[in-house]
Amino acid sequence: MNHSFRQVILFVSTAIVTVFGYLLVRSILDSKSVMPITFELYAALLGVILTALITFSLLSKQTQAELNKEESIKFLDLKINVYTELINQVQDIMSKAEITDIDMIEIRLLNQKITYVASVEVLEAFNRFADEFARKARKEKISDNDIDDLLLRLSDVSLAVREDLLSSRESEAVRKKVRARLLSSNKYLDIE
């Protein structure tokens, strides 16, 4: 059953019980022949029913929130695993002396894998890396400058992955600092 449909049914049933209870209590109060114990029993019954409906509503919302939280955690774990695999495979490819056709296929397959979980920014950054990688792979020999260019593109992928994983938990100032540190570490580690 759809969650919003259940909420509507719960709301309607609560309203019906409230109206019915009000009418019942009013009729009991208007009647002079009813014993006071009867009034108290009806009021207690009405209180129990309303309490049960409200508790059911709150527990339903809490259960849905917990399911959403668990789903988010599992999806984040999946993202981390896919991104870790991405970096590991790119590292294996980049550490080789020459790029082969198999490496090109691996890059294409990595692109397909990250499509399942990656944000648009990660996909765009990885596509820029893949494009640069394809252009460099066509050369007979990859120079140190080519490797630097690829690592710069890979830095963009890493930053996009970081932003995707941390989402809105970081301020723009922190993002700029991380980007500056990453780019400066790339410069310090340039192959001469």
- Specify if 78 maps to a domain: no
Counted residue by residue, the chain has a size of 192
CA atoms 9, 12, 15, 17: torsion sign: negative
Residue 79 lies inside a defined structural domain of this protein: no
Q: Is residue 74 part of a domain?
A: no
One domain for residues 21 and 59: yes
In a domain, 112, yes or no: yes
CA nearest to 18, candidates 61, 52, 41, 59: 52
Inside any domain, residue 77: no
The verdict on 110 and 168 lying in the same domain is: yes
Q: What CA–CA distance (Å, rounded) separates 128 from 164?
A: 17
Same domain, 103 and 180: yes
Residue where a domain terminates, one of 52, 69, 86: 69
Three-class SS of residue 142?
coil
55 and 126 fall within a common domain: no
Higher-confidence residue of 168 and 122: namely: 122
In a domain, 91, yes or no: no
Split into its structural domains, the chain has a count of 2
Residue 8: give the domain boundaries.
3-69
Q: Which two tokens stand for residue 58?
A: 């709150």
> What is the residue whose two structure tokens read 């590991």?
88
Q: Which 8-state DSSP code applies to residue 33?
A: S
Which region among 15-24, 62-71, 78-87, 170-179 has the lowest average model confidence (pLDDT)? 170-179
Please tell me whether residues 100 and 163 are part of one structural domain. Answer: yes
For the chain, first and last CA: distance in Å?
A: 64
- Give the Cα separation of 67 and 61 in Å (integer): 10
Q: What is the mean pLDDT of residues 95-118?
A: 82
Q: What was the pLDDT predicted at 185?
A: 57
Q: For residue 103, what pLDDT is reported?
A: 82
Flag whether 82 is in a domain: no
Is pTM beyond 0.85? Reply is: no
* 61/106 same-domain check: no
One domain for residues 123 and 166: yes
Answer yes or no: is 84 within a domain. no
**Segment 43-96, tens digit of pLDDT:** 788 788 878 878 887 887 788 888 888 988 898 898 889 888 888 888 888 777
Residues 163 and 107 reside in one and the same domain? yes
Check whether residue 52 and residue 136 sit in a common domain.
no
- pLDDT confidence band for 192 (50 / 70 / 90): very low
